[in-house]
Amino acid sequence: MPFPFTLPTTSSISFPDFFSSSTHPSLPLTATSRRAVLRSALKSHKRLPSSSRASNLPSILAALNDYIPYLFALDAGVSGIPVAGEEIDVVLVKELQVEWRVVLSATTPGRESPRVKLKSLDSEVFFVLSTLGYTYCLLARAQLHTLALQNASSTSTEQRAGAIAGAMKNLIAANSVFTYLVARSQHNQPPASVPDISQAVLSGLASMTLAEATLITVLKDDPYPAVVSEQRNKESKDWMFKNPDIPKVRAHLFARLCLAAAEHASRAQGMLGNGGGTKVDADLLEYCDDLKRTAKAKACRFFGIDTELEGKTGEGIAWLRGAKKELGFTGGSDEDKRKFGAFSKLKKDWAEKREDKRIEKGGEWGGDAGRFEEGRVIEMLEKKWVKENDTVNVQLIPQYEPLVANMPSGREYHTPKPYQAPTLDEDIIAQMRAPPDPNDIAYQTVDDDSDAEESQSEPVGAFPGTKDQYSASTSSYY
């Protein structure tokens, strides 16, 4: 958590070939140079190993923020909208043609997603802003990575609060971007055949990021994941001399927030399942399902904590078993154990270890939306409460189905602000009144087609996706 998006790449274009401006003739060329920087940054980011991409995200964000104001200036000029109080006349010379690589469409395993040809400036706006939303989500992932490590208990309270606040801010920014694109798509309908910028997928991404931001709100004051991380930290010796300190939490409020997150995740799953008429990546759909399960299980856990604090340990255990059922793990009742058996537990343990390795390597972790981590918290509490109930309280454990079925509605926490399209400053607009300089580097740089080297065929006999491991000296038979 959040979802590990892949940033798209794009082809090279020259805006002066498609647009001209009598009032600000330097605008198309300047926009071209800014876009070339972004394109180069995206290509370089794609070539980095997965463990090194997080540190490169600020450069991607900077390139996007440098290019987007010029892109919106072109769009405003074509639409006859003033920029910084100044009229910009932009004339369409011929229809814009650009290519972007889709990253959310379902593809054949082992093959890279294809590039799609687009023929409007609106499509360029949709893809660039979608890339901005993906970047905000990836920045939130990078900030939360330290909290997912097994030694996260060594993180100070200030560092933990800073990481969570930064991640929440980035997710809210991503939600604002996707919500803006949804509103824009109602007036400028993007191509229905491209799932990445279809209205259904953009709506799903907006709901998904809002669900993630709501869950992070709960994570800020939830002490139990840190306790589980401390218990699993092999280097920690605190268990020898003290019990973990678990402060009281506003359990009922947190449960309502988690239910709101589950509702947003369910809505995202439904919208992404539509996909605008095309199939969306199965990993994204599975992530939304895990996100919904995790949010609902957290709600059950907090309802259980609330009842346990009132002395109703038996009902609290029932809530925990309902939470395990929501996660899709083996429940605590004898019927569940007979139904699922030991194989289900073995499969779950293997999946948890695989996810732990991904977290330690810093690669494509978090595809389970925190589902395994929540399962560990629930198992810790269930073991503790069952022991107390068997030795002290001796209360009957009711069935969890009626409890889960009668949960209240969710409660919203965030009120995201709409994304404000950035505009160029007046002095920059004034500078572009001058005609373009023929000696400008943007005129002289011949940019090759996007990912040209990546479109080459795989070496003979190579496993798909491993052509980078083959060099010219090793490609021949002799």
More confident call, 373 vs 291? 291
Answer yes or no: is 231 within a domain: yes
How many beta carbons lie within 10 A of that of residue 472, not counting itself? Answer: 6
Q: Total domain count for the chain?
A: 1
pLDDT band per the 50, 70, 90 thresholds, residue 193: confident
pLDDT in tens, 34-67: 999 999 999 999 999 887 888 999 999 999 999 9
pLDDT of residue 473: 42
Q: Sign of the CA dihedral 42, 44, 48, 51?
A: negative
Cβ-in-10-Å burial (0-12, 13-18, 19+) of 460 comes to: exposed
7: left (phi over 0), alpha (psi -120 to 50) or beta: beta
Round the average pLDDT of the chain to a whole number and report it: 81
How many other C-beta atoms lie within 10 A of the C-beta of residue 241? Answer: 6
Which of 70-84, 264-278, 312-326, 394-408 comes out lowest in average pLDDT? 264-278
Structure tokens at 344: 């289900």
Domain assignment present for residue 234? The answer is yes
pLDDT at 476: 39
pLDDT at 469: 54
The residue with greater pLDDT, 26 or 276, is 26
pLDDT at 242 over 50: no
| Mean pLDDT within 277-298 | 88
Q: How confident is the model at residue 232 (pLDDT cuts 50, 70, 90)?
A: low
Name which of 36-40, 226-230, 249-253, 304-308 the model is least confident about: 226-230
448 vs 424, which has greater pLDDT?
424
- Answer yes or no: is pLDDT of 18 > 90: yes
Instruction: Say if residues 282 and 382 touch (Cβ distance below 8 Å).
Output: no
Q: Is residue 217 part of a domain?
A: yes
Q: How confident is the model at residue 159 (pLDDT cuts 50, 70, 90)?
A: confident
For residue 38, being part of any structural domain is answered with: no
Quick check: is 384 in a domain? yes
Whether the bond into 2 is cis, omega within 30 of 0: yes
With bands split at pLDDT 50, 70 and 90, how would you rate the model's confidence at 453?
Answer: very low
| Average pLDDT of the segment spanning 111-115 | 79
pLDDT computed for residue 478 by the predictor? 35
Q: How confident is the model at residue 464 (pLDDT cuts 50, 70, 90)?
A: low
Mean pLDDT of 226-238: 62
Question: What's the whole-number mean pLDDT along residues 126-131?
Answer: 96
pLDDT higher than threshold 90 for residue 73: yes
Query: pLDDT tens-digit profile of 322-359?
Result: 999 999 886 555 555 554 444 455 555 556 566 556 55
What's the pTM? Answer: 0.85
Nearest Cα neighbor of 416 from 177, 126, 137 is: 177
Q: Return the top range by mean pLDDT from 13-27, 134-148, 444-458.
A: 13-27
Q: Is the pLDDT of residue 449 over 70?
A: no
For the segment 416-431, the average pLDDT, to the nearest whole number, is 88
Place of tokens 């390597």: 361
Query: Would 273 be classed as within a structural domain?
Result: yes
**Token pair 């190993």 in the structure block, residue:** 49
Residue 333 falls inside a structural domain: yes
Sign (positive/negative) of CA torsion 424, 187, 416, 169? negative
Q: pLDDT above 70 covers what percent of the chain?
A: 75
Question: Domain span at residue 370?
Answer: 167-178+195-405
Looking at residue 241, its pLDDT comes to 38
pLDDT of residue 447: 54
* Cα separation, 108 vs 402, whole angstroms: 43
CA distances to 187, 197, 260, 264, 276 from 182, rounded to whole Å, are: 9, 9, 21, 16, 13
pLDDT, tens only, 134-158: 999 999 988 887 776 655 555 677 8
Q: Going by C-beta distance under 8 Å and a sequence separation of 6 or more, which residues neighbour residue 167?
A: 2, 139, 140, 141, 143, 144, 216
Q: What is the mean pLDDT of residues 303-322?
A: 92
Please tell me which residue, 280 or 450, carries the higher pLDDT value: 280
In this structure, is residue 312 part of a structural domain?
yes
pLDDT at 443: 47
- Give CA 348 to chain center in angstroms: 24
- Which pair of tokens denotes residue 86? 């100044």
**Ramachandran area for residue 110 (φ above 0: left; ψ -120 to 50: alpha; else beta):** left
Nearest to 201 by CA among 285, 141, 93: 285
How open is the CA angle 246-415-72, to the nearest 5 degrees? Answer: 130
Q: Tell me, what's the pLDDT at 86? A: 85
Q: Are strands 98-101 and 115-118 parallel, antiparallel or unpaired?
A: antiparallel
Residue 412 and residue 171 in contact, taking contact as beta carbons nearer than 8 Å = no
> Confidence class of residue 238 from pLDDT cuts 50, 70 and 90?
very low
pLDDT of residue 448: 54
